[in-house]
Amino acid sequence: MPYSACDKLAMTYPSEIVVRRRNRRYITLMLLVIVVAGGWVAFWKYAQLKAEETIEGWKAREAKAGRVYDCGTQEIGGFPFRFELSCGRATALISSANPPVELTAPNIHVAAQVYQPTLLISEITGPVTYAEAGHPPAYVADWKLAQSSVRGTPRDPERVSIVLDEPSIRRTEPAEPVLNAKRLELHGRIMEGSATSNPVIEIAFRSNALSVPKAGAMAAKPADADIDIVLRGLKDFAPKPWPQRFREIAQANGRLEIRSARVRQGDTLAVGGGTFTVNAEGKLDGRLDMTVAGAEGFINELLAANKERLGFSVSLGLGLLSGKKKLEGRPAISLPLRVADSIIYFGPIKVGAVPRLF
């Protein structure tokens, strides 16, 4: 049966019922978007408060240890996926130091992801100045990039990492370099126990082209280092001065375990490990056993630096110290580095001293 003109018109355009259903879907979708957006704003605000609590908690924890932080200007942002704090003209007053010292930085930027409010990522803009409180800066530190990360809560920190690209430290008066490197890394974590009960701390130190001219001619030569350390004997990780911590370590018969150390300086490569303790007088004792390839150059420099103390001058010829050991395919020998009552000995030669720890 043929369709009438009215039937054809009805089939050409949607019925009123279909239009209403479609409008309902649009309205439902819009309401859903509004609800989700509102929920996300509420969630971000909650995460923002948690991140602020974490930052304020860290500041309060540090203040108990005599380290007070302040901002000249402070801005908060990062919506919708991050929480960010920008601290301009940042200052840190270390009243626990003797004498008290003050650090200043142009800006510190702290960020936390909304879904990880207890992981704080920080970036510090250089230069940073170091001065005795109320005095002009004595040292200036600068870098290409300085970042740190802290995981955990103020009451229960878990790990800390600090990375510096192209760091340098110089003294202002007299003007002279103190430290230079291409890269420095320091990573620490609690591997056993907790921050409140007998924590065992694992520390990893990495350096690339590190030189410390003020520490002598040998330390002025760039060196690469990769050192893993475990510190045992802490009672807790509550804020307190380091001399008090070292006293606790001595009383608990704690120790500093160098599980592995690898240092390369020029043609000299050394690997080894050892253990150090703190005696009742606050002095360091221990021994580091090393296997060294290319030891002649290292020892010749050591002898030259100590010729006045030795009373004579001597140098070793190439290959004189080549032993039966091998280190990465090179002839090597075993050499001990010993510390007794904070005096450092390389074999029989005194090469330096460590200040009393408490």
CB contact set of 32 (below 8 Å; sequence gap of 6+): none
Per-residue pLDDT band at 285 (split at 50, 70, 90): very high
Segment 327-351 shows an average pLDDT of: 83
Query: Given a cut of 50, is residue 254 above it in pLDDT?
Result: yes
Higher pLDDT, 345 or 188: 188
Q: How far does the chain reach from its first CA to its final CA, in angstroms? A: 108
Helix (H) or strand (E) holding 301: helix 295-305
pLDDT digits (tens, 9 = 90+) for 242-251: 888 899 999 9
Q: What is the pLDDT of residue 28?
A: 73
- Listed in order, strand segments (DSSP E) in 183-329 are 183-194, 197-210, 223-232, 255-265, 268-278, 284-293, 325-327
Q: Is 181 in contact with 161 (CB distance < 8 Å)?
A: no
Counting other chains too, the contacts that 346-351 makes at CB distance below 8 Å and 24 or more residues apart are 346/302, 349/302, 349/303, 349/306, 349/310, 350/306, 350/309, 351/302, 351/305, 351/306
Q: What is the pLDDT of residue 312?
A: 46
Distance from C-alpha of 34 to C-alpha of 31, rounded to nearest angstrom:
5
Higher pLDDT, 279 or 51: 279
Segment 165-178 shows an average pLDDT of: 94
pTM assigned to the model: 0.76
Per-residue pLDDT band at 19 (split at 50, 70, 90): low
CA neighbor of 179 nearest in space, from 190, 168, 188 = 168
CA neighbor of 66 nearest in space, from 46, 102, 44, 96 = 96
Most confident of 268-277, 319-328, 340-349: 268-277
pLDDT digits (tens, 9 = 90+) for 39-61: 777 777 777 777 677 777 878 87
Segment 256-277 shows an average pLDDT of: 93
% of residues, the chain, pLDDT over 70: 83
Lowest-confidence segment of 31-40, 160-169, 212-221, 301-310 by average pLDDT = 301-310
Segment 90-106 shows an average pLDDT of: 89
Q: Which residue has the tokens 């005095």?
A: 135
**From the CB of residue 207, how many other CB atoms can be counted at a distance below 10 Å?**
21
Where are the chain's structural domains? 1-180, 227-358
Q: Is 230 in contact with 254 (CB distance < 8 Å)?
A: no
CA neighbor of 229 nearest in space, from 197, 207, 255, 204 = 204
Higher pLDDT, 5 or 332: 332
